[in-house]
Chains A and B, each alone.
Chain A
Amino acid sequence: MRVPAATAVLLALLLTSLPLAQSPAPIGVVSAAGRRVLSTVIVNDQEYVALDDVAAFVPLTIREDRQGGVSVIVRGKSIVAPRDRALVSVDGRVVALPAPLTRMGGRWLAPVDFLPRALALVADSRIEYRRGSRLLVIGTVRVPRVTTRVEPAGTGTRVTVEVAPPTGVMTITDADRVVVRLDADAIDFAPVTGTSPAITQVRGDAPATVTIGLAPSAGDVRASTSNTDTTARVVIDITAPAQAPESSAAPPPAAAPPVLTPSKGGVQTVVLDPGHGGDDSGVRGAGGTLEKQVTLEVARRLKTVLEARMGVRVVLTRDDDRLVAPDERTATANNAKGDLFVSLHMSSSPAPATTGATVYFMRLDREGEETRREAGAQALSLPVLGGGTRVIETIRWDLAQARHVDDSGRLANLLAAALEGHVPTMPQPVQSAPLRVLAGLNMPAVLFEMGYLTNPGQEKSATGDEGRTVLVQAIYDAVNRFALAAPAGRQP
């Protein structure tokens, strides 16, 4: 009977005398060598790091003294930690710590604050601890602070991402998420304020990305970027989801059909023209990529996005690797009664450094201008079966684009605006030129040179998933805006 009692007393003594150790999530360490982790341990509610683990990032030597204290030597300078004292002497200066350095399991442990308060004073490079994001920043790496707010804006939702100090920002909008990619080594991601039904999550991802998840019912997304001296700001506006025609208090159906943004306006059919094909490979990239492959792959992806998100019919002038004559492309578009036409191409330059996208629309020569003027004047009014009349404008078949140059210019400007901040553009992103494939099109039409395949960076972007997504998103934005402004019920 006395033996169990003695055991219980002994166990109680052990529990009170031995510190309790827990292992929280490790600290991220960002340095010029890359991103690594530093394990920590909680002892008596204090978070510690092992000094021999720290030595992997900052060269240091540990020396125990006879009084039970320890010295940490960095670049010949000493940090002296007396036994059981919550302070250290750093090269002669006394620095307070939240807890003393302690020896445990054969290793010396120091409170995490030891790193910025003591070690930073003797190290040869910057040491900064971002407590909120649990990041230890060593050296001259770029780790901006990122704060994110989610708030209502009218009937929709606005997400504001602020980056300080400012860095380069690229925004990619996908079907179910918006990704804000920062030109940084890591991000100090602050907790998000606010919520919205349109947003499923906002998270900071390594190395320097903010991902905003979109609810299936989220409406259209529009992102814009602005910079000040101290902050880069990305504003993402998400329109309210489309309302059912008869709203009622009844709960929404469990399995809602896919949401098609009812924004096609006067645009029912979009014609996409992947440039080149077959024996005509177009531009050959620095790494061997062929223009005809890029244009077809972007067109296929764009077709999927336009059909899914706008509910429009999308016709491709070629859907395989074959040579298609310009007049055949024109005929496909005109016969499909397209409401707009986008020809996709990549550029070349003798200077590999040349980059940038350009949007072209048709420039009329003297003949074209005359044709345009005469098109309206020569309109015929013919009686139709059942009464009434129908006005038929006559125009030369090979100059049909003459009627649409103003709308084509507007489409070109919308596309250039959609590219801004997402895709590098030429100094003059919109240009007009006498372009063969556009001349006979009886619809607003542009030729989009998506970038320079002779530039290794743009070649990589044009062949990568992310780069193509950005291009597709920009074209979708432009088509969507054009459609919203186009009058419904196009007259053929």
Chain B
Amino acid sequence: MKRTLLFGLAGFTALALLAWGVNVGLQYLARTESPDAPVAAAPPPAPTAHITATLFYGAREGLLLQPVRVEVPLAEGAVAQGRQIVRALLQPPPAPYVSVIPAGTTLKAFYVTSNGDAFVDLSSDITAKHPGGTHAELLTVYAIVNTITTNLQGVQRVQLLVDGHEADSVAGHVDVRRPLERDLALVRQEPPSSPAVQ
């Protein structure tokens, strides 16, 4: 009787542990697979696994883009890595660079099609908070396009989406209805600066 009780208790404990493990696992899977998860809610990356990516920020005077080599969390696969790179780009830039993407803009989704077009879905802050002007808008658009096409091999073009939808433009000037190719005309023609972010 006593033995039966012990077996029953052990079985119940094992079942409880199994249920807990399944629950935690499902939560983990749900968190990492959801493309709509806000950037701020993402789990902190492993402290040691990083890659060096080239991000395009506004140069000090705000007229050109400056390629800057930055440490970005390592991720599995091109899509996950692209997501990390865009998230890093949306963070405030290190001094002395200036932000060309409106503060508060978040990444809602990122995926790459089979023909090498990357789709970047950003929150509507990118349009609502944009200061305006053709030049400033070109800097915003090509900071994103150049960053993705420079760091992700195989990605030739970038299609911007706003809140999940195709947009005419970011601030009324630059045509973003179709995927855009890399453009270095607005990039300062100097070697990339030394790593600025750890």
Residues of A participating in the B interface, judged by any CB pair closer than 8 Å: 275-276, 280, 282-284, 291, 326, 345-351, 353-354, 358, 360, 365-367, 398, 426, 431, 433-437, 439, 447, 449, 452-454
Q: Which stretch, B24-32, B44-52, B81-89, B171-179, touches the partner chain A?
A: B171-179
Query: Out of A291, A347, A434, A437, which one reaches B135, CB within 8 Å?
Result: A347
Who on chain B is nearest to A360 by CB? B134
Task: With both chains docked as a complex, state the minimum distance between the C-beta of B139 and any C-beta of chain A, in angstroms.
Answer: 9
Write 15 A-B pairs (CB below 8 A) sorted by A numbering: A276-B132, A347-B135, A347-B136, A350-B98, A351-B60, A365-B181, A433-B138, A434-B175, A434-B180, A436-B172, A436-B177, A439-B175, A449-B133, A449-B135, A454-B131
B163-193: contact bitstring with A at CB < 8 Å (1 yes, 0 no)? 0000011001111111011000100000000
Report A-chain residues with C-beta under 8 Å of the C-beta of B61: 349, 351, 353-354
Report A-chain residues with C-beta under 8 Å of the C-beta of B99: 350
Determine if B14 is an interface residue (Cβ-Cβ < 8 Å). no
Query: Out of B62, B138, B169, B176, which one reaches A350, CB within 8 Å?
Result: B62
Determine if B18 is an interface residue (Cβ-Cβ < 8 Å). no
- Is chain B's interface secondary structure helix, strand, loop, or mixed overall? loop
Who on chain B is nearest to A283 by CB? B132
Task: State whether B136 touches A348 (Cβ < 8 A).
Answer: yes
Task: State whether B173 touches A349 (Cβ < 8 A).
Answer: no
Task: State whether B174 touches A436 (Cβ < 8 A).
Answer: yes
Report B-chain residues with C-beta under 8 Å of the C-beta of A436: 168-169, 172-177
Determine if B63 is an interface residue (Cβ-Cβ < 8 Å). yes
Quick one: given A275-B172, A326-B168, A350-B98, are A433 and B178 in contact (CB under 8 Å)?
no
Task: State whether B133 touches A354 (Cβ < 8 A).
Answer: no
Quick one: given A350-B62, A351-B62, are A358 and B135 in contact (CB under 8 Å)?
yes
Report A-chain residues with C-beta under 8 Å of the C-beta of B67: none
Residues of B participating in the A interface, judged by any CB pair closer than 8 Å: 58, 60-63, 98-99, 131-136, 138, 168-169, 172-178, 180-181, 185
Query: Out of A284, A346, A349, A433, which one reaches B62, CB within 8 Å?
Result: A349
Task: State whether B185 touches A348 (Cβ < 8 A).
Answer: no
Task: State whether B178 touches A365 (Cβ < 8 A).
Answer: yes
With a 10 A CB-CB cut-off, give which of B133, B136, B169, B176 has the most chain A CB atoms. B133
Task: State whether B134 touches A435 (Cβ < 8 A).
Answer: yes
Report A-chain residues with C-beta under 8 Å of the C-beta of B174: 433-436
Cα distance, A438 to B156, chains bound together (Å)? 24
Report B-chain residues with C-beta under 8 Å of the C-beta of A284: 131-132
Report B-chain residues with C-beta under 8 Å of the C-beta of A360: 134
Cα distance, A243 to B58, chains bound together (Å)? 56
Report B-chain residues with C-beta under 8 Å of the C-beta of A275: 172
Quick one: given A350-B58, A350-B62, A350-B98, are A291 and B168 in contact (CB under 8 Å)?
no
Query: Out of A366, A435, A449, which one reaches B175, CB within 8 Å?
Result: A435
Report B-chain residues with C-beta under 8 Å of the C-beta of A347: 133-136
Query: Out of A282, A351, A367, A431, which one reaches B132, CB within 8 Å?
Result: A282
Report B-chain residues with C-beta under 8 Å of the C-beta of A437: 173
Cα distance, A102 to B135, chains bound together (Å)? 69
Task: With both chains docked as a complex, state the minimum distance between the C-beta of A364 and any C-beta of chain B, in angstroms.
Answer: 11
Report A-chain residues with C-beta under 8 Å of the C-beta of B178: 365, 367
Report B-chain residues with C-beta under 8 Å of the C-beta of A276: 132, 172
Task: State whether B185 touches A431 (Cβ < 8 A).
Answer: yes
Cα distance, A283 to B60, chains bound together (Å)? 20
Cα distance, A73 to B26, chains bound together (Å)? 99
Report B-chain residues with C-beta under 8 Å of the C-beta of A398: 177
Report B-chain residues with C-beta under 8 Å of the C-beta of A453: 133
Cα distance, A454 to B63, chains bound together (Å)? 13
Cα distance, A367 to B180, chains bound together (Å)? 11
Report B-chain residues with C-beta under 8 Å of the C-beta of A346: 133
Task: With both chains docked as a complex, state the minimum distance between the C-beta of B92 and any C-beta of chain A, in angstroms.
Answer: 13
Quick one: given A431-B185, A435-B174, are A349 and B134 in contact (CB under 8 Å)?
no
Task: State whether A354 touches B168 (Cβ < 8 A).
Answer: no
Who on chain B is nearest to A434 by CB? B175
| 15 other A-B residue contacts (CB within 8 Å) besides A351-B61, A358-B135, A436-B172 | A282-B133, A284-B132, A326-B172, A347-B135, A348-B131, A349-B61, A349-B135, A353-B61, A366-B181, A398-B177, A433-B138, A434-B174, A435-B174, A435-B175, A447-B134
Task: With both chains docked as a complex, state the minimum distance between the C-beta of A69 and any C-beta of chain B, in angstroms.
Answer: 65
Report A-chain residues with C-beta under 8 Å of the C-beta of B133: 282-283, 291, 345-349, 449, 452-453
Report A-chain residues with C-beta under 8 Å of the C-beta of B173: 345, 435-437, 447
Task: State whether B172 touches A349 (Cβ < 8 A).
Answer: no
Cα distance, A280 to B127, chains bound together (Å)? 11
4 A-B pairs with the lowest CB-CB distances in the bound complex, closest first = A347-B133, A348-B133, A436-B175, A283-B132
